A and B are shown apart, each in its own frame.
Chain A
Protein backbone atom coordinates (compact mmCIF):
# COMPACT_ATOMS: atom_id res chain seq x y z
CA UNK A 1 0.00 0.00 0.00
CA UNK A 2 2.77 2.37 0.96
CA UNK A 3 4.46 1.99 -2.38
CA UNK A 4 1.63 3.50 -4.31
CA UNK A 5 0.91 6.15 -1.72
CA UNK A 6 4.38 7.58 -1.42
CA UNK A 7 3.48 10.42 -3.70
CA UNK A 8 0.30 11.74 -2.19
CA UNK A 9 -0.77 13.89 -5.10
CA UNK A 10 -3.88 11.88 -5.52
CA UNK A 11 -7.31 12.93 -4.25
CA UNK A 12 -7.95 12.34 -0.61
CA UNK A 13 -10.96 10.15 -1.08
CA UNK A 14 -10.50 7.76 -3.92
CA UNK A 15 -11.11 4.32 -2.59
CA UNK A 16 -14.85 4.17 -3.00
CA UNK A 17 -16.54 2.29 -5.75
CA UNK A 18 -19.96 2.67 -7.26
CA UNK A 19 -21.91 5.39 -9.00
CA UNK A 20 -22.22 7.53 -5.86
CA UNK A 21 -18.55 7.30 -4.97
CA UNK A 22 -17.76 10.97 -5.12
CA UNK A 23 -19.81 14.04 -5.87
CA UNK A 24 -16.82 15.58 -7.63
CA UNK A 25 -14.78 14.83 -10.71
CA UNK A 26 -11.13 13.85 -10.25
CA UNK A 27 -9.98 17.30 -11.31
CA UNK A 28 -12.33 18.93 -8.83
CA UNK A 29 -11.08 16.61 -6.11
CA UNK A 30 -7.55 17.58 -6.97
CA UNK A 31 -8.42 21.26 -6.62
CA UNK A 32 -10.05 20.64 -3.25
CA UNK A 33 -7.14 18.52 -2.12
CA UNK A 34 -4.61 21.14 -3.09
CA UNK A 35 -6.60 23.99 -1.54
CA UNK A 36 -6.98 22.14 1.76
CA UNK A 37 -3.40 20.99 1.92
CA UNK A 38 -1.84 24.27 0.85
CA UNK A 39 -3.92 26.44 3.16
CA UNK A 40 -3.18 24.11 6.05
CA UNK A 41 0.51 24.09 5.25
CA UNK A 42 0.76 27.85 4.84
CA UNK A 43 -1.08 28.76 8.00
CA UNK A 44 -0.15 25.93 10.32
CA UNK A 45 -3.85 25.53 11.04
CA UNK A 46 -5.73 22.41 10.06
CA UNK A 47 -8.54 23.01 7.61
CA UNK A 48 -11.01 20.20 7.13
CA UNK A 49 -14.00 20.18 4.84
CA UNK A 50 -17.26 18.40 5.56
CA UNK A 51 -19.87 18.09 2.84
CA UNK A 52 -23.14 16.49 3.77
CA UNK A 53 -26.24 16.85 5.85
CA UNK A 54 -26.08 18.51 9.23
CA UNK A 55 -28.56 18.04 12.07
CA UNK A 56 -31.46 20.48 12.27
CA UNK A 57 -29.43 22.69 14.57
CA UNK A 58 -26.69 23.13 12.01
CA UNK A 59 -24.44 25.18 14.28
CA UNK A 60 -24.49 22.61 17.06
CA UNK A 61 -23.92 19.84 14.52
CA UNK A 62 -20.94 21.62 13.02
CA UNK A 63 -19.47 22.34 16.44
CA UNK A 64 -19.93 18.71 17.34
CA UNK A 65 -18.07 17.69 14.19
CA UNK A 66 -15.33 20.14 15.07
CA UNK A 67 -14.90 18.50 18.44
CA UNK A 68 -14.08 15.24 16.67
CA UNK A 69 -11.86 16.67 14.00
CA UNK A 70 -8.91 14.73 15.35
CA UNK A 71 -5.47 15.89 16.37
CA UNK A 72 -5.74 19.25 18.09
CA UNK A 73 -9.21 20.73 17.62
CA UNK A 74 -8.08 24.12 18.93
CA UNK A 75 -5.88 24.47 15.84
CA UNK A 76 -8.43 23.19 13.40
CA UNK A 77 -10.94 24.99 11.24
CA UNK A 78 -13.97 23.09 10.02
CA UNK A 79 -15.83 24.15 6.92
CA UNK A 80 -19.16 22.37 6.88
CA UNK A 81 -21.24 22.57 3.73
CA UNK A 82 -24.78 21.20 3.72
CA UNK A 83 -25.96 21.39 0.10
CA UNK A 84 -29.45 20.10 0.89
CA UNK A 85 -30.00 22.55 3.71
CA UNK A 86 -28.11 25.24 1.81
CA UNK A 87 -26.16 26.10 4.93
CA UNK A 88 -22.47 26.81 5.35
CA UNK A 89 -20.85 26.72 8.77
CA UNK A 90 -17.27 27.64 9.58
CA UNK A 91 -16.09 26.58 13.03
CA UNK A 92 -12.76 27.64 14.45
CA UNK A 93 -10.96 26.22 17.47
CA UNK A 94 -9.67 28.43 20.26
CA UNK A 95 -6.17 28.87 18.84
CA UNK A 96 -7.46 29.19 15.29
CA UNK A 97 -10.02 31.83 16.25
CA UNK A 98 -7.24 34.17 17.37
CA UNK A 99 -5.85 34.13 13.85
CA UNK A 100 -9.22 33.93 12.15
CA UNK A 101 -11.62 36.29 13.88
CA UNK A 102 -15.33 35.82 13.29
CA UNK A 103 -15.37 38.81 10.98
CA UNK A 104 -12.84 37.19 8.66
CA UNK A 105 -14.87 33.98 8.69
CA UNK A 106 -18.01 35.93 7.86
CA UNK A 107 -16.28 37.49 4.87
CA UNK A 108 -15.19 34.08 3.64
CA UNK A 109 -18.71 32.78 4.15
CA UNK A 110 -20.02 35.61 2.02
CA UNK A 111 -17.57 34.77 -0.76
CA UNK A 112 -18.42 31.10 -0.62
CA UNK A 113 -22.19 31.38 -0.45
CA UNK A 114 -22.10 33.75 -3.40
CA UNK A 115 -20.51 31.05 -5.52
CA UNK A 116 -22.62 28.27 -4.03
CA UNK A 117 -25.71 30.20 -5.05
CA UNK A 118 -24.63 29.99 -8.65
CA UNK A 119 -23.96 26.27 -8.33
CA UNK A 120 -20.17 26.44 -8.08
CA UNK A 121 -19.43 24.40 -4.97
CA UNK A 122 -15.78 23.70 -5.66
CA UNK A 123 -14.96 27.25 -6.75
CA UNK A 124 -16.61 28.63 -3.65
CA UNK A 125 -14.75 26.28 -1.35
CA UNK A 126 -11.39 26.92 -3.00
CA UNK A 127 -11.85 30.68 -2.91
CA UNK A 128 -13.06 30.60 0.67
CA UNK A 129 -10.05 28.55 1.73
CA UNK A 130 -7.75 30.99 -0.04
CA UNK A 131 -9.37 33.90 1.73
CA UNK A 132 -9.18 32.21 5.11
CA UNK A 133 -5.54 31.26 4.71
CA UNK A 134 -4.67 34.78 3.52
CA UNK A 135 -6.33 36.17 6.61
CA UNK A 136 -4.67 33.71 8.98
CA UNK A 137 -1.24 34.43 7.52
CA UNK A 138 1.93 32.49 8.12
CA UNK A 139 2.58 31.07 11.57
CA UNK A 140 6.07 32.65 11.69
CA UNK A 141 4.51 36.10 11.65
CA UNK A 142 2.69 35.30 14.86
CA UNK A 143 5.66 34.19 16.89
CA UNK A 144 6.78 36.60 19.61
CA UNK A 145 9.73 38.71 18.48
CA UNK A 146 12.97 38.63 20.41
Chain B
Protein backbone atom coordinates (compact mmCIF):
# COMPACT_ATOMS: atom_id res chain seq x y z
CA UNK B 1 0.00 0.00 0.00
CA UNK B 2 1.47 3.30 -1.06
CA UNK B 3 1.22 6.48 0.93
CA UNK B 4 -1.34 7.84 -1.48
CA UNK B 5 -3.54 4.77 -1.09
CA UNK B 6 -3.30 4.99 2.69
CA UNK B 7 -4.33 8.60 2.66
CA UNK B 8 -7.23 7.87 0.34
CA UNK B 9 -8.57 5.00 2.42
CA UNK B 10 -8.04 6.36 5.91
CA UNK B 11 -8.48 10.10 5.40
CA UNK B 12 -10.36 11.01 2.25
CA UNK B 13 -12.93 8.20 2.33
CA UNK B 14 -14.06 8.76 5.96
CA UNK B 15 -14.13 12.50 5.33
CA UNK B 16 -16.35 11.96 2.31
CA UNK B 17 -18.75 9.85 4.35
CA UNK B 18 -18.91 12.46 7.12
CA UNK B 19 -19.50 15.27 4.63
CA UNK B 20 -22.25 13.29 2.94
CA UNK B 21 -24.02 12.72 6.24
CA UNK B 22 -23.63 16.41 7.11
CA UNK B 23 -25.10 17.45 3.78
CA UNK B 24 -28.03 15.07 4.16
CA UNK B 25 -28.83 16.53 7.57
CA UNK B 26 -28.29 20.19 6.81
CA UNK B 27 -29.70 20.60 3.31
CA UNK B 28 -33.38 20.05 4.15
CA UNK B 29 -33.08 22.44 7.08
CA UNK B 30 -31.55 25.10 4.87
CA UNK B 31 -34.31 24.69 2.33
CA UNK B 32 -37.11 24.89 4.91
CA UNK B 33 -38.98 28.14 5.13
CA UNK B 34 -38.07 30.68 7.73
CA UNK B 35 -39.61 30.12 11.12
CA UNK B 36 -41.25 32.83 13.10
CA UNK B 37 -38.91 34.46 15.57
CA UNK B 38 -40.24 36.86 18.18
CA UNK B 39 -39.26 40.39 17.33
CA UNK B 40 -38.82 39.80 13.63
CA UNK B 41 -41.40 41.26 11.25
CA UNK B 42 -44.16 38.84 10.38
CA UNK B 43 -44.56 39.88 6.75
CA UNK B 44 -47.72 37.94 5.94
CA UNK B 45 -51.21 39.01 5.11
CA UNK B 46 -53.79 38.93 7.85
CA UNK B 47 -55.63 35.67 7.76
CA UNK B 48 -58.66 34.28 9.54
CA UNK B 49 -59.09 30.55 10.00
CA UNK B 50 -62.38 29.00 10.93
CA UNK B 51 -63.41 25.45 11.77
CA UNK B 52 -65.13 23.12 9.39
CA UNK B 53 -68.87 22.90 9.74
CA UNK B 54 -70.24 19.83 11.49
CA UNK B 55 -72.20 18.86 8.39
CA UNK B 56 -69.17 18.92 6.15
CA UNK B 57 -68.93 21.29 3.24
CA UNK B 58 -66.31 23.59 4.65
CA UNK B 59 -64.61 26.38 2.76
CA UNK B 60 -67.19 28.89 3.85
CA UNK B 61 -69.51 28.07 1.02
CA UNK B 62 -72.68 29.30 2.69
CA UNK B 63 -71.42 32.38 4.49
CA UNK B 64 -69.26 34.48 2.22
CA UNK B 65 -69.11 37.26 4.82
CA UNK B 66 -66.30 35.48 6.66
CA UNK B 67 -64.50 34.13 3.66
CA UNK B 68 -60.85 33.58 4.45
CA UNK B 69 -59.19 36.97 4.36
CA UNK B 70 -62.23 39.00 3.47
CA UNK B 71 -63.24 39.77 7.02
CA UNK B 72 -59.69 40.08 8.17
CA UNK B 73 -58.96 42.74 5.62
CA UNK B 74 -61.99 44.71 6.66
CA UNK B 75 -60.40 45.72 9.96
CA UNK B 76 -61.01 49.30 10.75
CA UNK B 77 -64.34 49.47 9.00
CA UNK B 78 -66.56 49.37 12.01
CA UNK B 79 -69.60 50.94 10.42
CA UNK B 80 -71.43 47.74 9.61
CA UNK B 81 -71.16 46.22 13.06
CA UNK B 82 -71.80 48.67 15.84
CA UNK B 83 -73.08 45.94 18.15
CA UNK B 84 -70.60 44.69 20.70
CA UNK B 85 -70.63 40.93 21.06
CA UNK B 86 -67.64 40.33 23.30
CA UNK B 87 -68.42 39.24 26.83
CA UNK B 88 -65.05 38.14 28.16
CA UNK B 89 -61.67 36.80 27.32
CA UNK B 90 -58.07 37.46 28.12
CA UNK B 91 -55.04 39.24 26.78
CA UNK B 92 -51.36 38.48 26.78
CA UNK B 93 -48.08 39.59 25.30
CA UNK B 94 -44.84 37.78 24.63
Interface residues, chain A, with chain B CB atoms under 8 Å away: 5-6, 8, 12-13, 15, 20, 22-23, 25, 32-33, 36-37, 39-41, 46-55, 58-59, 61-71, 73-74, 78, 83-84, 86-94, 96-97, 100-102, 105-106, 108-110, 112-114, 116-119, 121
Contacts and interface: CB of A to CB of B under 8 A. Distances in A.
A94 to B, nearest CB: 4
B72 interface: yes
Chain B interface mostly: loop
Contact of A88 (B42, B74, B88, B94): B94
B90 A90 contact: yes
Contact of A106 (B35, B76, B90): B90
Contacts of B89: 62, 78, 89-92, 97, 102, 105
Nearest to B68: A13
Interface stretch (B3-11, B22-30, B53-61): B53-61
Interface residues of B, number: 48
Contact of B47 (A51, A92, A94): A51
Interface of B: 33, 35-39, 41-52, 54, 56-59, 63, 65-66, 68-69, 71-72, 74-76, 78, 80-81, 83-94
Nearest to A19: B33
